[in-house]
Amino acid sequence: MIIKSLRVQNFRTHRDFSMNFSDKTTLITGSNGSGKTSLLEAIFMVLRGTSFKSSDREIVKNDIDETWFRVDVKTANDKNRTVKFDYSRTSGKKQFVLDSKNNYRLPTAHKFPVVMFEPDDLQLLSGSPSRRRRFLDQFLGQLDSEYATIQRKYEKALRQRNMLLKQDNYSSDEIFPWNLMLSKYGAEIISKRLGLIDRLNSQMSEVYKNISGVDDDISILYIGEEMNSDRLLNELSKNEFKDKLIGYTSVGPHRHDIEFVFNHAGAKNTASRGEVRSLILAIKFLETDILAELLDEKPIILLDDVFSELDENRQVLLSKHFSQYQTIISSVNQIKDVDKIINL
């Protein structure tokens, strides 16, 4: 897929804005608060079905008396995609218009791979465990059409079990079905995460070397026990008393983490600022190439003001790697040698 044009209406800071895109690299510049990221958000929503920032209602332009927003995208094969939202009419649900048909959820068959790279990604090593779990889960959600469904079912069971744990009285018969669901879907989540990490680890050091020029050993370590459904069910039952005291479920993939290992030591405490940036670039390069290989579709690349966080050498490496993909870049400042970057 190649995006040819975008129109947004009542979308954050934009009342009515349109633009066209190159099939290679498009650079969007503007001051902070001018709505550059909003344009990337609109593209992401059309292709993936959700915002990467906030709820739909918060997107509606807030300085006008309106209750709706609309996004229209035209692709290279003259296919149109539209997202419509009006909280006064649709009970807070978006509508996706594809081939003249309305859908309240973007069908899996119409989701398109996207690699989003934003400054917050540079905090992947030092950020919270939930930030790292989100990286794995979003990656897997694009690779595996079943993964998002498995995750939703797991999270529903987790909410129900946690609600029971906060009650003064409940029976074993009430909590057992939720333990059963958590063990089934939790084991699947763990297995799929470990499979992805194995794939990343098989290429991580080589890709990092291509970026840094240094032959370091780089890997990802999964922090959490590998468990089949029977083992996880047993752990949930064994920890029920403790969970009742603390008021939440203490075992399962929602408590797991990953650690980046740099020459056999935790990268968080040993890697320099430059090494961390090279490592994150390696992860993004792998994410892009794995999606393209396994889905047989070249993902669209959205780079949200990351060039300001990278030195000139890494800017060129980033642009060169993504030159085979349609890439849309937002930046507060004009990028040095932008013509060279765009024409790579």
Segment 45-72, tens digit of pLDDT: 999 988 887 777 777 877 667 778 889 9
Q: Is there a contact between 187 and 228 (Cβ–Cβ < 8 Å)?
A: yes
Q: Is there a contact between 175 and 233 (Cβ–Cβ < 8 Å)?
A: no
Helices vs. strands in the chain: H and E counts, helices first: 12, 13
Output the pLDDT for position 32: 82
Q: Please give the model's pTM, rounded to 2 decimal places.
A: 0.87
Neighbours of 70 (CB within 10 A): 18
Mean pLDDT on 222-230: 94
Structure tokens at 215: 């032959």
Chain-centroid distance, C-alpha 79 = 25
Neighbours of 40 (CB within 10 A): 24
Residue 192 burial by Cβ neighbours in a 10 Å radius (0-12, 13-18, 19+) = buried
User: Residue 105: pLDDT above 70?
Assistant: yes
Mean pLDDT on 1-29: 91
User: Residue 344: pLDDT above 90?
Assistant: no
* Cα separation, 203 vs 291, whole angstroms: 14
Domains and CATH numbers, the chain: 3-112+298-342 (3.40.50.300), 126-278 (1.20.1050.90)
Chain-centroid distance, C-alpha 204 = 19
Segment 142-166, tens digit of pLDDT: 999 899 999 999 999 999 999 999 9
* Cα separation, 175 vs 64, whole angstroms: 48
How large a percentage of the chain has pLDDT more than 70? 95
**Angle value at C-alpha 92, between 300 and 70, nearest 5 degrees:** 45
Residues 6+ apart with CB under 8 A from 103: 95, 96, 97
Q: Tell which residue, 141, 182, 145, 140, has the closest CA to residue 160.
A: 182
Segment 253-264, tens digit of pLDDT: 999 999 999 998
* Cα separation, 344 vs 330, whole angstroms: 17
* Cα separation, 141 vs 182, whole angstroms: 18
